[in-house]
Amino acid sequence: MSATRKIKYFLLNTLLTSIIFRLLDLYTRTLKVQFEGTEKIQQHLKNGGRIIIASWHQRFFGGFFLPQIFKWSPCIMISRSRDGDFIAKVVRHIGWIPVRGSSTHGGKEALRALIKGVAENRIGGHIVDGPTGPPSLVKPGLISLAVNADAYICPGVVSYEKFWSAKSWDRFMIPKPFSRVLFRFGTMFPLSEKMSAGQFESIRKQVEDDMIKEYEAADQFWNK
């Protein structure tokens, strides 16, 4: 890496992180966020249960609101890439607990750390089709995480009234300033510790189908 890139990387990951967080905080204050289905999550946690909030990569910007509004400290896996270094620092400012790794780099170690984090904090987030897609596909890691952490799975369904869409593999969405945002907690899925390969795939597909349906329904919310 050249000296110029090293300096740029240092500035981005040290001096600019807190500035960018403050700007994001001010920006998100312009958004009008509506939550649905929170009571079942709160009750499950109150009863001593654990929960994994599942999200598409395309909509994970909505996770900005969860730690501050609900006073949660959820764990989440962040890739070991250079972009991941920056993202990890930002999400830590927000209140998430980043665990470094991905399905392609350090996945097994990160999964073990994430299982431990969910066991301790009782809540975690998982971007089920990240980090590189295909989009809207629930990967097996979500089911393994939930089973080993003894946690329920619950889709965190996010929809924006007005948004920008990036030219990326997932068409990543960013809500426009002053837009309305819907955050809906979907169906809660309990899992059995002992599952055959067929049962494992069946619950994976069931969660995936439910998430697709829930996201489609949430996007129709703005047409009412």
pTM of the complete model: 0.87
Amino acid code (one letter) for 96? W
Residue the block writes with tokens 């929960």: 51
Which 3 state secondary structure label does DSSP give 41? Answer: helix
Structural domain span for residue 121? 3-223
Q: What is the pLDDT of residue 107?
A: 65
Pairing mode, if any, of strands 163-165 and 173-175? antiparallel
Inter-helix orientation angle 82-94/3-13, to 10°: 20
What are the CB-based long-range contacts (under 8 Å, 24+) for 188-191? Answer: 188/40, 188/44, 188/51, 188/152, 188/153, 188/154, 189/146, 189/152, 189/153, 189/154, 190/152, 191/143, 191/146, 191/147, 191/151, 191/152, 191/153
Pairing mode, if any, of strands 32-36 and 180-185? parallel
The DSSP secondary structure of 158-213, one letter per residue, reads EEESSEEE-SSTT--EEEPTT-EEEEEE---B---SS--HHHHHHHHHHHHHHHHH
Q: Give residue-wise pLDDT tens across range 45-66.
A: 999 999 999 999 999 898 888 8
How far is residue 59's CA from residue 193's CA, in Å, rounded to a whole number? 29
Name, in order, each residue with C-beta under 8 angstroms of 81's C-beta and a sequence gap of 6 or more.
102, 105
- Number of folded domains that form the chain: 1
Greatest Cα-to-Cα distance within the chain, rounded to the nearest angstrom:
54
- Detail the DSSP E strand segments found in the chain: 32-36, 51-55, 75-78, 97-100, 123-127, 152-160, 163-165, 173-175, 180-185
Q: Give residue-wise pLDDT tens across range 70-113.
A: 889 899 988 777 777 778 888 888 889 988 876 566 667 778 88
CATH of the domain at 212: 3.40.1130.10
Q: Give residue-wise pLDDT tens across range 21-53.
A: 788 889 999 999 999 999 999 999 999 999 999
